[in-house]
Amino acid sequence: MDKILSLNEWLPYDAKIELAKAAKGARLKRGWKRDTLSEKTGIPVSTLKRYETTGEISLDQFLRLTFVLGDLDRLKGVFDSDEQVFSSLDEMVTVKPEVKRKRGTL
């Protein structure tokens, strides 16, 4: 597959790798071995190892991991956005951005 143009800075592959690194960091910060985290989450040690190295994990396991590491509440607003939603690139191009004037300038 050729390179895909993204309007976001963070691509899905990058996201899963960075989230896996953050989860590993949170585990190590608590001084837990994978065995300890496995006991607390019910996720097999082999799955935790695969997640920390490749970023691959099921959504259910990711949510359990996030809950045990104390960050599940931070996911509540993940789909809330104040950004305008466009149905096409043409619509995005035709909409003019709102310019907020600073006091005393144009």
Report CA torsion sign: 60, 17, 9, 3: negative
pLDDT of amino acid 71: 83
pLDDT of residue 2: 44
Note the pTM of the prediction, 2 decimals: 0.68
pLDDT per residue of the chain (106 residues) written in tens, 0 to 9? 445 545 557 788 999 999 999 999 999 999 999 999 999 999 999 999 999 999 999 999 999 999 999 888 888 888 777 777 777 878 777 776 676 767 766 6
